[in-house]
Amino acid sequence: MGKYSDAHICQCLSRLLISRSNFPVTIAGDCCKTGEQFVQEVVGLAYGLQQLGIGAGDVVAISAYNSDLYLKWLLAIAFVGGISSPLNYRWSFEEAKFAITTVRPVMLVTDESCYTWFLNLQKNDIPSVRWHVFLGSPSSDFSKKWNVVTSEMLKRHLVKLPPFDYSWAPEGTAILCFTSGTMGKPKGVTLSHGALIVQSLAKIAIVGYSEDDIYLHTAPLCHIGGLSSAMAMLMVGGCHVLMPKFDAKSAVDAIEKYTVTSLITVPAIMADMVSSIRDREIWRGGESVKKILNGGGNLSIELIRNSRMTETCSSLTFLTLYKPTQEATGQSFMMVSKTRSNIIHHPQGVCVGKAAPHVELKICADGSGHVGRILTRGPHVMLRYWDQILTNPLDPRNEVWLDTGDIGSIDHDGNLWLLGRTNGRIKSGGENIYPEEVEAILLEHPGVAGVVTVGIPDARLTEMVVACIQPRKDWQWSEQSVWKDNHLFREHLQQYCKDKNLSRFKIPKIFILWRKPFPLTTTGKIRRDQLRKELAYQLQSCSNI
């Protein structure tokens, strides 16, 4: 197999079969599968795909809720040399059709989460799709309307497991996933077996995943965060607890019922879980949880105090905020609070830790300074965008350095300091302002629950900095900082920013009370472009601004 033979995600099957044969590796509802049962079903499904003619380079798109079957499909597709393309079940049909048209799958696998897709796809001709398969067992109403092929129909029941003779797709591609599309249409990203494996090894080495872990899938498998952590847990042979989609109550129940030891989160998920735990008179689940990975945004000090965690910004860098080996719980929380305070208020930006073992990072500065675009290189980098060649004109040797879209710097100790996103940068009065830096300061205010900062057009400054504030419900604002006509008297928060040593040109000129949820992408990222449009319209209608 040449260069692809040294890394394949199906190599985890041997470990599951030998070391975890009689141990549970997946729990989904009332269904529990041992390592041997799991491997049998993966290989049986792979042989069914082979008999259909699915082979090297064929794309199979999957859109479904989390389940043990979802994991089996990912491995079975890779086993025959196919490429999995996880699609987000929360997309509209138009978004899904765009993705399907882009990747041209030969097979589409869905469940009842995509019922409307199924109906619309019957009416829309997608030439590449030859088979439409239902992931699980459809309800009786669904079966009456449509004659569907199911996973069980495809699976071959093997009396004896044959040798694991798995195949590779061209370029060693394993997964074809999509970006969030915060500033345009999502892009298809091709990831190799090697990329998934080295990311998994980084998490195993730094976080300490092991076969003793019971991992709760709080993130959907269509997101790279949920997918890469699932791969790490498959590699070590831990146990997967799967619920169809995240629900705070169900997650908290599952942690207690199955003595969950690890999970991943984003700030919104953590906030919902903490709120659910507070509503309970007795909850003992916290005794088992040892490892929490946070991504997609910074956690507030309040949330950190309510969780013992290891924080990561994607798989590039890791920052440990709490180590379970510390016995003095109160002291460790003090350490966390001090760490977060120093991190947030440092003029270099927000510290997101040091590079993972397999990751190279460098800063491409526009001028003589040390701040610039963050580039990365290594086996974790995507192969290319789908149907595009990945090149980097900045590197004359044509070595692949990927522009992350982030702006930051690297200190003398190797820590990466994040200032913001290139596409979120505000240009005001000739100065560059990164909204994340302003937001980090404002989030430290005890009366601020959420904030998003954007720039709106201004004749004098080019762009004016505006902060949309979600106030904390239980905070009593003083008379000097009351809300009036949907706007906050700016003096209080402006002075707060000054007291925190935020440069004057970065301090928002306008503060607006935001009464509804901030617009998000399906992966939970802020849609600053949409917020900017809504804000511009709102400000135009206010004569007192």
User: pLDDT higher for 315 or 527?
Assistant: 527
Same domain? For 113 and 158 the reply is yes
CATH number of the CATH domain containing 194: 3.40.50.12780
Residue in 243, 230, 233 with CA at minimum distance from that of residue 27: 243
Closest CA to 86 of 68, 105, 240: 105
Q: Are residues 9 and 80 in the same domain?
A: yes
> For position 215, what pLDDT does the model report?
97
Domain identity same for 371 and 512: no
Question: Which of 164, 182, 210 is where one domain is finished?
Answer: 210
Whether 225 is covered by a domain: the verdict is: no
Asked whether residue 204 is assigned to any structural domain, the reply reads yes
Q: Which residues contact 537 (CB under 8 A, 6 or more apart)?
A: none
Predicted confidence at residue 339, as pLDDT, reads 38
Residue 34 has pLDDT above 90, yes or no: yes
Note whether 451 and 417 are same-domain residues: no
Query: What's the confidence (pLDDT) of residue 120?
Result: 79
pLDDT bucket at 68, cuts 50 / 70 / 90:
very high
Residues 370 and 507 both lie in one domain: no
Q: Which CATH number do you get for residue 462?
A: 3.30.300.30
- Reported as a single tens digit per residue, the pLDDT across 491-521 is 888 989 999 888 888 899 989 888 888 887 7
Cα 98 to Cα 92, 101, 190, 258, 367: the distances in Å are 10, 5, 17, 39, 39
pLDDT tens digits, 162-176: 888 899 998 889 999
CB neighbour list of residue 114: distance below 8 Å, 6 or more residues apart: 63, 64, 89, 96
Domain of residue 480: give its range: 431-540
86 against 267, higher pLDDT: 86
535 and 409 within one domain: no
Task: Select the highest-mean-pLDDT range: 330-334, 403-407, 444-448.
Answer: 444-448
Same domain, residue pair 168 and 50: yes
Considering the domain boundaries, does residue 215 fall inside one? Answer: no
Domain-embedded: residue 283: no
Task: Kindly state whether residue 321 falls inside one of the protein's structural domains.
Answer: no
The Cα 111–Cα 369 span in angstroms is 52
Among the candidates 166, 186, 210, a domain finishes at 210
365 and 507 together in one domain:
no
Q: Are residues 406 and 455 in the same domain?
A: no
Cα separations (Å) of 344 from 82, 88, 297, 445, 485? 44, 33, 12, 12, 31
> pLDDT of 477-496, one tens digit each?
654 445 554 455 678 889 89
Residue 23 and residue 155 in one domain = yes
Q: Answer whether residue 266 is part of any domain.
A: no
Look over the chain and give the mean of its residue pLDDT values, rounded to a whole number: 79
**Residue 173 domain-assigned?**
yes
The C-alpha angle 214, 74, 381, rounded to 5 degrees, equals 90
Tally of structural domains, the chain: 3
Contact indicator for 273, 251 with CB cutoff of 8 Å: yes
Are residues 435 and 412 part of one domain? Answer: no
For residues 445 and 496, the answer to whether their CB atoms sit within 8 Å is yes
Q: Does residue 158 share a domain with residue 47?
A: yes
Domain boundary residue, one of 421, 446, 477: 421
Taking the C-alpha atoms of residue 323 and residue 312, their distance in angstroms, rounded to an integer, is 14
Mean pLDDT over residues 277-299, rounded?
76
CATH number for the domain spanning 368: value is: 2.30.38.10
Q: What is the separation of C-alpha 535 from the centre of its chain, rounded to a whole number of angstroms?
A: 27
Q: What is the pLDDT of residues 371-419, one digit of tens each?
A: 888 888 888 888 777 866 444 443 433 457 888 878 888 888 888 887 7
Residue range 199-235, pLDDT digits in tens: 898 889 888 899 999 999 999 998 888 899 999 999 9
In a domain, 136, yes or no: yes
